[in-house]
Amino acid sequence: MTLCLGIETSCDETALALVEDGRLLTERIATQVDAHALFGGVVPELASREHLRVLAPLVDSLLEGSGRTLGEVDVVAVARGPGLLGSLLVGMSFAKGLALAAGADLVGVNHLWAHLLAPALEQDIAFPALGLLVSGGHTQTYRVDSPLAFEVLGRTLDDAAGEAFDKAAKVLNLPYPGGRIIDELAQRATPDKTIFPRPYVNNTNLDFSFSGVKTAMANYVANHPHLRADRMMSDMDELLADRGERGVLEELCIVCSSFNWCIAEALRIKVDRALEQVGKDVRSLIVAGGVAANSMIRSAMTDLAKGRGLEIILPSTRLCTDNGAMIALTGWYLHSAGYRHGMDLEAIPRGRK
Ligand code: KG4
Ligand code: ZN
């Protein structure tokens, strides 16, 4: 039996989990969303300080909740990047200290691979798989031959899909973080497919580009200023009341739905193309990362997989966003395959988008 403690501090969630032989025992997560909401985005300095503040009590609570002691931990796995440098360094230093104190092995984990493997905590993944990773910082497709063999097929040339959602929400003064709010508003309407063009699909490659559609939303709002709330709405209830009173709720929902549709379509077209070009032998389609929580994207990918006779692997929402369980699981896979890192393990903040 191998007990692996995973640490995730790459952005604005401080998350820990204990995984034993691929099975999740306990997890703890301290989100910083409220702290950053005041600024309408993640403030790196604030994020590092928050990680530092909560890590030690969170470990105590994790161990207590699982009835395990630090001495029983065999492996400490830590997200080494990509992510915010300061935040990664806090997690990394803490992980090294913890590994020394526990007499455990240390394993550094690629945050993006961890997102793609997260669903293995809930269901078996049939390999080879095609992986779509859609988060706030990344949009990539991968061919995944095993839990240890990842090959990038396509990537965004500029913004990530989640970034486009968040920035679109910001120009509309929707509550932060905006992806989930756009999703909720979008579900109340049918998309008007003439409002926003599907971004970067008229080519033959596997890459993505979302900066154009983000600008298209900014231009649309500039031409339809009544859609934008006078100030940033604090939550969904306030948003619905304010927009409802002003009689623009229906129009706002159509705009969100159209925006969501064009992003979902760009993802669907490129994933389909990747399967066509390099995935004829692929058995499953994994959709992971924070944006994989999006309803329109989930249903587009489910239909796509069904049409091609593939198993669709969609993690539950809890496993889509940043979490410690995915780091612990990936660390456990790596450790089982013989990987170990020394105390000179470094953070890698900049992965390619
Ligand atoms: O994976 P994640 O938690 O953090 C990163 O590693 O980036 O992803 C966060 C991103 C944010 O951009 C957020 O707005 C987006 O995921 N997101 C969504 C939804 N839920 C979260 N985007 C669209 N629809 C959603 N339901
Ligand atoms: Zn992430």
Q: Answer yes or no: is 183 a known binding residue.
A: yes
- Residue 143 above 70 pLDDT? yes
- The token duo for 316 is 């539950």
Q: Is 80 exceeded by the pLDDT of residue 147?
A: yes
Provide the pLDDT confidence category of residue 352 given band limits of 50, 70 and 90: low
Residue 104 sits in the same domain as residue 143? no
Measured CA to CA, the distance from residue 333 to residue 156 in angstroms comes to: 28
The pLDDT of 172-190, averaged and rounded, is 95
Ligand 1 pocket list (CB less than 6 A): 11, 135-137, 162, 165-166, 177-180, 183, 289-291, 293-294, 321-322
The 10s digit of each residue's pLDDT in 248-269 is 999 999 999 999 999 999 999 9
Burial class of residue 111, CB neighbours in 10 A (0-12, 13-18, 19+): buried
Q: Is the pLDDT of residue 243 over 70?
A: yes
- Average confidence score pLDDT of the chain: 96
CATH number at residue 11: 3.30.420.40
Global pTM reads 0.93
The two counts, helices (H) then strands (E), for the chain are: 12, 10
For residue 49, give its domain range.
3-120+322-336
Instruction: Give yes or no: residues 280 and 144 share one domain.
Output: yes
Residue 329 carries which DSSP code?
A: H
Residues 256 and 196 in one domain: yes
What are the strands, taking DSSP E only, across 99-211?
A: 105-110, 129-134, 139-146, 149-155
The answer to whether residues 140 and 285 belong to one domain is: yes
Are 305 and 311 within 8 A, CB to CB? yes
Tokens of 293: 């929580």
The reply to whether 344 falls in a domain is no
State how beta strands 311-313 and 284-288 pair. parallel
Percent of the chain whose predicted confidence (pLDDT) is above 90: 93
Residue 96 located in a structural domain: yes
Q: Which residues surround ligand 2, an ion (CB under 5 A)?
A: 135, 322
Residue-wise pLDDT for 61-83, tens only, equals 999 999 999 999 999 999 999 99
Same domain assignment for residues 171 and 304: yes
Residues 264 and 216 in one domain: yes
Q: What is the count of structural domains for the chain?
A: 2
Q: Was 133 annotated as part of a binding site?
A: yes
